[in-house]
Amino acid sequence: MQYKVRKLKKTDMKIVVALLQQISNFKPRVELYDSIWKIFISQKYSYALVIEINDAVVGYGCLSFSMNLRGGKIAYVEDIVCAKSLKNRGIGKAIMQELYDYAKKKDCYKLVLQCNEENKKFYKKCGYKENGFCMQKLI
């Protein structure tokens, strides 16, 4: 399957938000897209990409970066999603590989992510290992 990986553009926002509905119920109001985009793109420590097939956006993934007190750079994997019709076709794995390569280029020493139980198998196939216990508190 031929695909193209590129950096996220503002014109992708509507389709990416629609794709993200597969993994989260949170959906911003359309009239807020411009202000959300300006804030999102101004972040210095994030990277977002899309995957296209025949000029159609079919996948999305994002990294956020931080540095710990010892100087180690960490990349946090967020919002990995692909079109339902293309599940199990390598799109998710391609997104994960591109994010890994980018984090490596930025001298990160580890990537971390949080996922649901049903997604563990996929991330293990991408080389991730369970490490500790994750907790969250939604606001």
Using DSSP bridges, classify how beta strands 56-67 and 108-112 pair: parallel, antiparallel or unpaired: unpaired
In the predicted model, is pLDDT for residue 129 greater than 90?
yes
27 has pLDDT over 90: no
Domain ranges in the chain are 4-125
- The percent of residues in the chain predicted with pLDDT above 70, rounded, is 100
Phi-psi region of 73 (alpha: psi -120 to 50; beta: other; left: phi over 0): beta
- If one looks up domain 4-125 in CATH, what number appears? 3.40.630.30
pLDDT tens profile 88-123 = 899 999 999 999 999 999 999 999 999 888 899 999
pLDDT at 14: 93
- Beta pairing class for 73-82 and 108-112: parallel
**Whole-angstrom Cα distance, residue 74 to residue 87?**
28
